[in-house]
Amino acid sequence: MAATGSEKQGGDGVKSFYVSTPIYYVNDAPHLGHAYTTVAGDVLTRWHRQRGEKVWYLTGTDEHGQKIMRTAEANDVTPQAWCDKLVEEAWKPLWEHLNIANDDFIRTTEKRHTDRVQEFVQDLYDKDQIYKGGYEGPYCVGCEEYKLPGDLIESEDGTKLCPIHKKPVELLKEENYFFKLSEYGPKLLEFYAANPGFIQPESARNEVVNFVTQGLQDLSISRSTFDWGVPVPWDEKHVIYVWVDALLNYATAVGYGANQEKFDETFPANVHLVGKDILRFHAVIWPAMLMAQGLPVPGRIAANGWLMVGGEKMSKSNLTGIKPQDLTSHFGVDAYRWYFLRAIAFGSDGSFSWEDFSARYTSELANDYGNLASRVAAMVGKYFGGALPEATAAGDAESAVQEGLAKAVDTADRKIGEELDFQGGILAIFEFVKQVNGYITEQEPWKVAKDESPEGQARLATILYTAAESLRGVAVLLNSVLPDTSQKLWESLGAEASLGALADQRVQDAGDWGRLPVGTTVTKGAVLFPRLEEKPA
């Protein structure tokens, strides 16, 4: 049985926690759906970095294939010029705008990729895993995929349509080279049975198992009717099928055939994040290709659902593509990063609405979280001159808060770091925020402050230390989701000066009570989540 990503280690004994997004087609600018997956990967890898782990986060662009070629032609430029423009003017700037901390950005037109793709395919050919044949069938250029007749839907006039793009398929007949995918059906089924967590969620796993159980067809791995792609090394009248080219980025980006030490310490991916519409490529074709080469398969294929607008999958072709900047300009980047992972269970489809975003922003970010931070800083400033007081009168109420933080840490670490349940992890953190708000409401420090006796002042100091120390834990826990806001809160609490950089705080230790030193200077900074103006016209 092939090793999984969680079992194999590199030459130094420490394997990177390796996460990838799909590499995105550059036929147009990115929309919310692309950003959703990329932010999820960023939160996951930031979380593991803050655990103190070695991490590698990869994203990039898929730049070959018929769809890209036709888009470039429609814009009267070469395919390479089109790709260069979109990558440099749209894709990379958006990831920077959204505070994506990727370690690499690979483009499939780069020589470091194309050379290795040819070597990989040549090796399969030399191993008698590839043969020449012909194929005729319905092809969706949008998916860059031959469709099975049973997968198609019909329009009102009887035209056969791609079920994803809702556009007519093209009937293609051409000479191709084929990979012996059909031979790997039993091996894949055996692997799925031995590794039930390989495909997530369970509904996605069931779909793939059912698909493979019905029997696999050999895979066409070349095209001969156009030339925008990586040439087949033994027959340059053909270019390598764009999906074979694309899938190999996960290996070529981390040193396959070029840097063995890097490859050993990184490959395979622990988690491939993919959209559910490209699940079969990643859960069937990709592991079969790796098995054919004797390489380890990934640890997990995690399929996220679709973002829906008006009941349709969000996409440019369906005219429902929304630019992330349309939202970040109003709500801010951190709130944007938070909203989709908070509002939608990862792995399920979810509907976006401006009204829902506004309501959650106001209720949870502004009122619950932002207001808590402002109130605590203001009271420490008013009653203790900004110097964090010592907690000397703790009781059952404070013990409950301490237990609440420890529970939030354990739950969030398991859900975000292990289960990829971003929503569940974020909810656990915000349940603790609500608990701290309830604690302050019940303890009424503004009334306790009127008691000028030593006992009264000790009680007031204890309440405010408990609230500030709680926020210290929250800043650590939310750093992967809300990095800019967490940094502002960290500095407001005086933690940067007293505890060091926020990035160096370990999430698994965030519940260790009493880390914020007595005497630390607490300042009331800018409002973390300002009141929203009306929705722009």
SS3 for 197-247 is CCEECHHHHHHHHHHHHCCCCCEECEECCCCCCCEECCEEEEEECHHHHHH
> Catalytic amino acids?
31, 34, 140, 143, 162, 165, 313, 316
Cβ–Cβ < 8 Å for 139, 161 = no
- pLDDT for the residue numbered 316: 47
Cβ–Cβ < 8 Å for 273, 22 = yes
Pairing of strands 145-146, 130-140: antiparallel
Contacts of 311 (CB under 8 A, 6+ apart): none
Pairing of strands 219-220, 350-351: unpaired
As a three-state string, the secondary structure of 97-140 is HCCCCCCEEEECCCHHHHHHHHHHHHHHHHCCCEEEEEEEEEEE
Question: Any bridge partners for residue 171, and if so which?
Answer: 138
- Per-residue tens of pLDDT for the chain, all 537 residues: 344 444 444 445 699 999 999 999 998 889 888 999 999 999 999 999 999 999 999 999 999 988 899 999 999 999 999 999 999 999 999 999 999 999 999 999 999 999 999 999 999 999 999 999 876 777 766 666 666 766 777 777 777 776 766 778 777 677 899 999 999 999 999 999 999 999 999 999 999 999 999 999 999 999 888 899 999 999 999 999 999 999 999 999 999 999 999 999 999 999 999 999 999 999 999 999 999 999 999 999 999 988 877 655 555 444 355 789 999 999 999 999 999 999 999 999 998 889 999 999 999 999 999 999 999 999 999 999 999 999 998 899 999 999 999 999 999 999 999 999 999 999 999 999 999 999 999 999 999 999 999 999 999 999 999 999 999 999 999 999 999 999 999 999 999 999 999 999 999 999 999 999 999 999 998 999 998 876 654
- pLDDT for the residue numbered 314: 52
Geometric angle at alpha carbon 328, from 326 and 507, rounded to 5°: 150
- pLDDT for the residue numbered 155: 73
- pLDDT for the residue numbered 170: 75
- pLDDT for the residue numbered 8: 41
How many beta carbons lie within 10 A of that of residue 65, not counting itself? Answer: 25
- CA of residue 4 relative to chain centroid, distance: 20
Q: Which pTM was predicted?
A: 0.91
Cβ–Cβ < 8 Å for 339, 333 = no
How far the first Cα of the chain sits from its last, in Å, is 58
Give dist(CA 478, CA 481) in Å, integer.
5
Contacts of 286 (CB under 8 A, 6+ apart): 247, 250, 272, 297, 298
The single residue listed with the structure tokens 């990379």 is 92
DSSP state, 297?
Answer: P
Radius of gyration of the chain (CA): 26
- pLDDT tens profile 505-518: 999 999 999 999 99
